[in-house]
Chains A and B, each alone.
Chain A
Amino acid sequence: MVTTPVLLLLTTVVTIRPFADSSLHSSMAASAVVRRLSSAPLHDHRLLRPFSTTGSESTITVETSVPFTGHKIDPPSRSVETTPFELLSFFRDMSLMRRMEIAADSLYKSKLIRGFCHLYDGQESIAIGLEAAITKKDAIITAYRDHCIYLGRGGTLVESFAELMGRRAGCSKGKGGSMHFYKKESGFFGGHGIVGAQVPLGCGLAFAQKYLKEGTVSFALYGDGAANQGQLFEALNISALWDLPAILVCENNHYGMGTAEWRSSKSPAYYKRGDYVPGLKVDGMDVLAVKQASKFAKEYALKNGPIILEMDTYRYHGHSMSDPGSTYRTRDEISGVRQERDPIERIRKLLLSHEIATVSDLKDIEKEVRKEVEEAIAQAKENLMPDPSELFTNVYVKGFGVEVSGNASDVSFGADRKEVKAILP
Chain B
Amino acid sequence: MAASLQSAVFLSNRIDPHRRLFASPARSLPGTKGSILVVRSDGRISGRLSGRNLITNAVATKADTPTSSTDSKPGHELLLFEALREGLEEEMDRDPRVCVMGEDVGHYGGSYKVTKGLAPKYGDLRVLDTPIAENSFTGMGIGAAMTGLRPVIEGMNMGFLLLAYNQISNNCGMLHYTSGGQFKIPVVIRGPGGVGRQLGAEHSQRLESYFQSIPGLQMVACSTPYNAKGLMKAAIRSDNPVVLFEHVLLYNLKERIPDEEYVLCLEEAEMVRPGEHVTILTYSRMRYHVMQAAKTLVNKGYDPEVIDIRSLKPFDLYTIGNSVKKTHRVLIVEECMRTGGIGSSLRAAIIDNFWDYLDAPIMCLSSQDVPTPYAGTLEEWTVVQPAQIVAAVEQLCQ
Contact = CB atoms under 8 A, between A and B. Distances in A.
A226 interface: yes
A264 B159 CA distance: 21
B13 interface: no
Interface string A183-219: 0000000001111110000000000000000000000
A136 to B, nearest CB: 26
B202 A179 contact: yes
B167 to A, nearest CB: 12
Nearest to A385: B377
Contacts of B374: 115, 163, 166, 172, 174-178, 180
Interface stretch (B41-49, B255-263, B342-350, B387-395): B387-395
Interface stretch (A29-37, A89-97, A252-260, A276-284): A252-260
Most buried by A among B104, B111, B131, B197: B131
A179 B200 contact: yes
Contacts of A390: 373, 375, 378
B136 A230 contact: yes
Nearest to A264: B131
Contacts of B160: 194-195
Given A257-B104, A259-B108, A386-B378, A116 B199 contact: yes
Interface string A243-270: 0000000000000111100011100000
A416 interface: yes
B381 A416 contact: yes
B132 A116 contact: no
A167 to B, nearest CB: 7
Nearest to A390: B378
Interface size class of A (residues with CB under 8 A): 35 or more
Interface in B119-154: 129-133, 135-136
B203 A228 contact: no
A257 B111 contact: yes
Interface string B354-398: 000000000001001111011111101110010110011001000
Nearest to B368: A391
A84 interface: no
B350 to A, nearest CB: 19
Contacts of B214: none
A174 B374 CA distance: 6
Nearest to A164: B374
A9 interface: no
A216 B197 CA distance: 39
B136 A166 contact: no
Nearest to A115: B198
A196 B370 CA distance: 24
Contacts of A23: none
A17 interface: no
Given A228-B131, A258-B108, A416 B199 contact: no
A114 B378 CA distance: 14
Interface in A370-419: 385-386, 388, 390-392, 395, 413-414, 416-417
Nearest to B124: A263
A259 B385 CA distance: 38
A73 interface: no
A413 B388 contact: yes
A306 interface: no
B117 interface: no
Given A392-B370, A395-B370, A265 B131 contact: yes
A179 B203 CA distance: 10
Most buried by B among A178, A193, A196: A193
A229 interface: yes
A258 B162 CA distance: 22
Contact of B132 (A166, A195, A328): A195
Contacts of B392: 413
A114 B380 CA distance: 14
B314 interface: no
B381 A388 contact: yes
Nearest to A180: B200
Interface string A144-174: 0000000000000000000100110000101
A225 B378 contact: no
A327 B116 CA distance: 13
B123 to A, nearest CB: 14
A114 B203 CA distance: 13
B198 A177 contact: yes
A180 B365 CA distance: 29
A416 B197 contact: no
Contacts of A257: 103-104, 108, 111
B131 A166 contact: no
Contacts of A116: 199-200, 203
Interface string A219-246: 0000001101111000000000000000
A40 interface: no
B201 to A, nearest CB: 7
A180 B395 CA distance: 39
A417 B381 contact: yes
A228 B133 contact: yes
A390 B376 CA distance: 12
B131 A256 contact: yes
Contacts of B365: 413
A383 to B, nearest CB: 11
A115 B199 contact: yes
Interface in A42-92: none
B163 interface: yes
Most buried by B among A175, A229, A264: A175
A359 interface: no
B275 interface: no
B200 A386 contact: no
B110 to A, nearest CB: 9
Interface string B184-215: 00000000000011111111000000000000
B300 to A, nearest CB: 15
A420 interface: yes
B387 A414 contact: yes
Contacts of A265: 131
Contact of B381 (A114, A192, A228, A391): A391
A388 to B, nearest CB: 6
Given A166-B377, A179-B203, A413-B387, 13 more contacts: A116-B203, A172-B374, A176-B201, A178-B374, A180-B200, A180-B201, A228-B132, A258-B104, A264-B132, A385-B377, A386-B378, A388-B377, A391-B381
Query: Top 10 nearest A-B pairs by Cβ distance?
Result: A177-B374, A258-B108, A166-B375, A193-B202, A115-B198, A228-B131, A413-B391, A174-B375, A264-B131, A114-B198
16 contacts: A166-B378, A172-B374, A180-B200, A180-B201, A194-B159, A228-B132, A256-B132, A258-B111, A259-B107, A259-B108, A386-B373, A388-B377, A388-B378, A413-B388, A414-B388, A416-B381
